[in-house]
Amino acid sequence: MYRQSIYEQFSEEAAILKHYGLDTLEPEYWVGDNDVRKSVRYSSTEGLNNQTNNSVSGGVLDDRWSLDDTDPLGLKKSVLWQDLSSSKRSTQDVLDEMQEKSQLLVSAKSFNPKYFLREVHKDTSYNDLLGGAELLRYTLDQKSEALRNLVQDNFDRFVSAKNTIDTVYGEMKTQCLNADNDYGVRGLDNALSEAINRAEQVFGPVLVNRNKAEKIRSTLSVLEKYKFFFNLPSSLMESIKQQKYDVIIRDYKKGKVVLESTMSSDASENNGSSNPSTEREVDDNALSAQYRKVFDKVWAEVEKIMEEMREQLFKQLTEPWRSMEEQERTINVLLELDTPEDPIWHYLDSQYKFIIDLLKESYQEQLNKIKAFTKSLPPFSNDTKEIALRLKNAIKAINIRDYDSLIAGKDMDVQIWKATLDVVKSLSDLLLRCLPDFWKLSKSFMDGKFQKSPAILSANRRRRQAMDLRKVEQCQNMAKGVIDLYASLLSEFFILPPLSSNQVRDQETSSFIPSQSDSVTTCYFLTKILNGMSECVNDINSINMASDVSNALQILMEQTRWKFVEIICDAWNADAKIFYSLEDWSLDQDNREITNFLRNFHIFHKYNSRSAYKIASLGYVSDDDDNKSSRISDAFLQKIKSAFLDSLYAYLDGLVHLVFSDYTPLESCDKEPTEMIQKSRIDPKQIDSRILLTISNLSNLKQFMIPRIVSQFEAAYKCSLVDDTQTLNDVINQLDGILFEDYLKRQTQKIRNIVVNGILSGDVDWYNISKPTEVHSFVFEALLSLVIVHAQVSDIAKPLVNRTLTALLESMARDCLEAFRKVVKFGMGGMLQATLEIEFMHQTLSQYVSKEAKETLQHIYSTIEQLYDTTQASGNLDSELSSVKQLLVESRKNTTLQFLCFKKPK
């Protein structure tokens, strides 16, 4: 209804303008009837008045053909060369063209001769123009003659009309038809004014209300038609709260299409299209300026909401706690919204800065914890016993595979190790938590995964794609920066060479190593630290980054491995030098002839050796020769081999120190080893007990322990230690000889004193003594000393019994030989007595008689025989010897229980 009223009002105004031939309702001048402008205006008003099926031909062309458009020169049929009735052209275009072509019509006031000749006869020849000029002069002459004839024939009428007009004019003046009285229409004007005022009073409110109603109906129609558009801000806010980004993008794009359609409809109206169908669409879709302001205001609110959502989404991209899947969805939403800033690059840049800051912050935080913890600890003691005690507890833990006890330990060194492990674990966890997702998104970005749909691709995409190569390099540089920072922080902590150098060089002991940490604990934690680093590096390498990006990790691992091997070797040798402190002289449960000291050393040596191998090869011991991954470089091999041998030599040196030093229990709670003494009668405070056990340990070390340790080392490190093993055996033999000689020295001295005193004390007159009736007491005393030795050795190291008694018998035989050689002469009785005692000794210790002892005994018999004075022979020598043999048998029989230990077992 509103639209209909507008058109009705417009039609009325157009009719008035057409009737009076005016351009406007408020004209400033009057134009003649023959003026082309009148025709133009007529056509305009008529065209606007006929809305349903109007064309320019109905108004403009009808008036145009009422004018004289013939060529005054008679050369052309018409001066208008183009048909103006095309329905494809708008009314305004036709009117403008008619205004221009009126200058070509000779009957129009705006006729322009120059323009006429230039436009109409620009191609006419000069001769034709001359002919046309003659025709024009002839025509004008004919018209002038006709005009003169017309005036002559109607002169009386003209005079009569002129008089009538003058008479009427005079009467009008006399009857107040003048300007002062509005030419007699003042009363009519007053009546009309009064009628207008009354009409406004009566119909004004009605018309105003009608206009308001029409506006309301029009507004409701627009609201109903564009209900979705006007509800768009609230629906977007609700979808944002529910995080329905797909719905948001769909509604936003739909709203944008609606807005663009209204703009295009308005543009069509402004262009003044004359197509009927187009005009109908304009009627349905065109919006007034007032509505356009409302639409613009609603869309401004929509854009404000969307901008806030974009800012919120960009803020989410900087929140590292969000998952990768959530961030990818956010990036895809921003890409669909065609943001001026690249969301992918925004995320990568913020994530890179976050990872860098997080690594630095975590590293500094862990360092501060270590510093605070170190300050809170009491100062370390330089007492070797404390280090040895921690080493003993660590060996006990790894022997029963109770590795958790190492972690749960309350010692100061363990606490520092745990803090060090936390440094590496913290940095590695951060790297594994952040870098793979960062590189995954970078890889997707470089591979072009994040691209907008073809419907929204624009020049911005081309500009973005042109920057991809540069951003690819930047992505790689950022990933490399993260890895380099991780490597540099650990290099700084472990005091490694600069990452720019891959040369292995010696470094002083790192400050991160606790000053009193034992080698076993050091191996355990260094292996655990390196395993954590290795797992981290392997996981990073598995995401397939460029080799130059992850090169720093390879350098870091090589330098760390070398550094850790150095630390292990130093701690290994240092503990080997004090390992003797762990000897508590407790016997091995499986072999009572050796101490647990040997088992502990094997555990200690094997664990350190395997730990060094794990670090050097980043693998475990393997017997497969074809497994090339288990081989280590020559530099590592030489370093570990040197530590391996040095620790063995240090251990052997400690055995000597252990024997010749007074025994002091390692733990303050240790008391006299009463239980051990009761079971084995071993007193570790006695040097003889320590020597015998040590000799037994050396024997086991040579026969079993060294071959086993060397074999394991050779199998693991794929090398040969034949020469080194021989050298070790030589050293063991030397130590064995030194210790055994020291033990024999004290035992033989006792026996020598007994034998020498018994033979040369003067109590026995070897020349005048009577025939023997019994064995002298010094022989029993000497043999009883050997019984004591036998008992001692049997209790401590039974395998040494034969060796010990054989050596003592040899020594005692030499002492007897030396003593008998000092006797001047033997009489019959002396010769028989000496023979009885030597034979008694010989038969009692028969199973210990060695070749050397046998020869010495023969020398004794020869010496006695040589010193025998045959002049004292008073009877049959054979019968005397028979009686001595009988006495010998009786003496042996009488001492069977006393010397039962010397009896050879069946």
Region of 354 please: left (phi>0), alpha (psi -120 to 50) or beta.
Answer: alpha
The rounded mean pLDDT for the chain is 78
Mean per-residue pLDDT, 425-453 = 76
> Tens of pLDDT along 279-320?
444 444 445 566 677 778 888 888 788 777 777 777 777 776
pLDDT at 454: 44
Torsion on CA atoms 339, 344, 347, 349, rounded to nearest 10? -110
d(C-alpha 634, C-alpha 903), whole Å: 57
Contact 512, 421 (CB under 8 A): no
Convert the pLDDT of each residue in 461-486 to its tens digit: 444 444 466 777 787 888 888 889 99
Contact in structure between 413 and 610 (CB atoms under 8 Å): no
CA angle, 62 then 66 then 71, to 5°: 120
**Would the pLDDT of 891 be above 60?**
yes
Contacts for 751 with CB less than 8 Å, ≥ 6 apart = 782, 785, 786, 808, 811, 812, 815
DSSP label at residue 763: S
Burial zone of 144 (CB within 10 Å; 0-12 exposed, 13-18 middle, 19+ buried): exposed
Given a cut of 80, whether residue 792 has pLDDT beyond it is yes
Mean pLDDT of 633-639: 91
% helix / strand / coil in the chain, to the nearest 5? 75, 0, 25
CB-based burial of residue 195 (10 Å sphere; 0-12 exposed, 13-18 middle, 19+ buried)?
Answer: exposed
Q: Which residues contact 337 (CB under 8 A, 6 or more apart)?
A: 249, 252, 306, 310
Going by C-alpha positions, the residue among 408, 416, 350, 345 that lies closest to residue 380 is 416
381-385, 744-748, 850-854, 883-887: lowest mean pLDDT where? 381-385
Instruction: Give the pTM.
Output: 0.65
Task: Check if the beta carbon of residue 729 is closer than 8 Å to that of residue 706.
Answer: yes
Triad 692, 693, 697: Cα angle to 5°: 120
pLDDT number for residue 264: 62
Q: What is the pLDDT of residue 458?
A: 45
Alpha-carbon Rg for the chain, nearest whole angstrom, is 65
- Least Cα distance to 747 among 684, 810, 697 occurs for 810
| Cβ atoms of residues 97 and 43 within 8 Å | no
**Residue 668 pLDDT grade (very low, low, confident, very high; cuts 50, 70, 90):** low
Q: What is the distance, to the nearest Å, from the Cα of residue 185 to the centroid of all Cα atoms in its chain?
A: 100
Compute CA distances 662 → 659, 682, 697, 900, whole Å.
Answer: 8, 15, 18, 34
In this prediction, residue 858 has a pLDDT band, given cuts at 50, 70 and 90, of very high
Give kind and range of the element (H or E) at residue 723: helix 722-760
Least confident of 93-107, 617-631, 671-685: 617-631
Residue 787 confidence (pLDDT): 93
Strand-pair partners of 826: 868
3-class secondary structure, 686: coil
3-state secondary structure of 91: helix
The whole-angstrom separation of Cα 802 and Cα 739 is 16
What pLDDT does residue 647 have? 93
Task: Give 841 or 373, the one with higher predicted confidence.
Answer: 841
Work out the number of other CB atoms within 10 angstroms of the CB of residue 97: 17
Q: What is the pLDDT of residue 5?
A: 46
Average pLDDT over residues 600-623: 79
Q: What angle, rounded to 10 degrees, do the helices at 828-844 and 851-867 form?
A: 170
Report CA 779 to chain centroid distance, whole Å. Answer: 86
pLDDT computed for residue 94 by the predictor: 65
d(CA 693, CA 430): 55
What is the rounded CA–CA span in Å between residue 629 and residue 622? 10
Q: Write out the H or E segment, with its range, that includes residue 243.
A: none
> What does the pLDDT look like over 669-700, one tens digit per residue?
444 444 444 444 578 888 888 899 899 999 99
Q: Of all residues in the chain, what percent carry a pLDDT higher than 90?
A: 23
Q: Which element (helix H / strand E) includes 363? A: helix 343-376
Residue 863: name the closest of 887, 830, 886, 892 by CA: 830
Which pair of structure tokens corresponds to residue 806? Answer: 């054989």
